[in-house]
Structure 1
C-alpha cells in the first residue's frame, strides 16, 4: 500500500492509499478540508475534534441524501462498513484524538 502526505485544515497527515486510488483519496481529502475549513471559518466551533466530527456528519448526511444507483436500490449492493470508516478516521486523526 502506497502512502500519500496530505494537508487538512493546515495539518499534515500521511495516509495509506491502495494503488490506483490516489485520485479518489485526494478528492476525498479536498472535500474534508473544504468542509472542516468552512466550519472553522464560521467561527462557531474552535476545537479541531468537534470540527472533524461535524464535517464527517455533514459529509455523511450529504452522501445519504444522494439517490441510490440502480444496483443499490434493489438491495444487491454491499452495505457500508461504518465501523471500518470510523477506524480509518481515527487513524487519520492520530494524535488529535479518537472520534468514538
Structure 2
C-alpha cells in the first residue's frame, strides 16, 4: 500500500492508498476539502470537528440520494447548511446541540 500526503482545510494528512487508487483518493480529498471549506466559509460553525461531521453528513446524504435519482443527485448542490444543523440539533436534543 502506498502513502499519499494530502491537505484538507490547510491541514496535512498522510493517508494509505492502494496502488492505482491515487486519482480516486485525490478526487475524494478534493470533495471533502470543498465540503468542509464551504461549511467553514458559511460562518455558522467554527470547530473543525463539527465541520468535519457536517461535511461527512453532507457527503453521506449525497451518496444516499444517488440510487433514487442519479441525474438529479449529480446536478444538485449539497443540502443547506442551516437546515442540516437544525436537523442535527433536533436529533441530538438540547444536550448535544451543535450551536
Q: TM-score range by the shorter chain?
A: 0.5 to 0.7
Instruction: Report what 1:19 is aligned to.
Output: 19
Q: Give TM-score scaled by structure 2 length.
A: 0.67
Instruction: Report what 2:6 is aligned to.
Output: 6
Matched, 1:32 2:32: yes
The structure, 1 or 2, with the larger RCO (C-alpha pairs under 8 Å, 6+ apart) is 1
In the alignment, structure 1 segments of 5+ residues that lack a partner are 69-100
After superposing on structure 2, the runs of 4+ consecutive aligned residues of structure 1 that deviate more than 2 Å are none
- Deviation of 1:36 after TM superposition, in Å, equals 0.1
Separation in structure 1 between the aligned mates of residue 10 and residue 39 of structure 2, nearest angstrom: 14
Q: Give TM-score scaled by structure 1 length.
A: 0.67
3-state SS in 2 of match to 1:4: strand
Separation in structure 2 between the aligned mates of residue 4 and residue 44 of structure 1, nearest angstrom: 31
After TM superposition, list the pairs within 5 Å mapping 1:77-88 onto structure 2: none
Summarize deviations over 1:21-80 as a string: whole Å, max 9, x none: 000000000000000000000000000000000000000000000027xxxxxxxxxxxx
Length, aligned pairs only: 68
3-state SS in 2 of match to 1:67: coil
In the alignment, structure 2 segments of 5+ residues that lack a partner are 69-99
Separation in structure 1 between the aligned mates of residue 25 and residue 53 of structure 2, nearest angstrom: 19
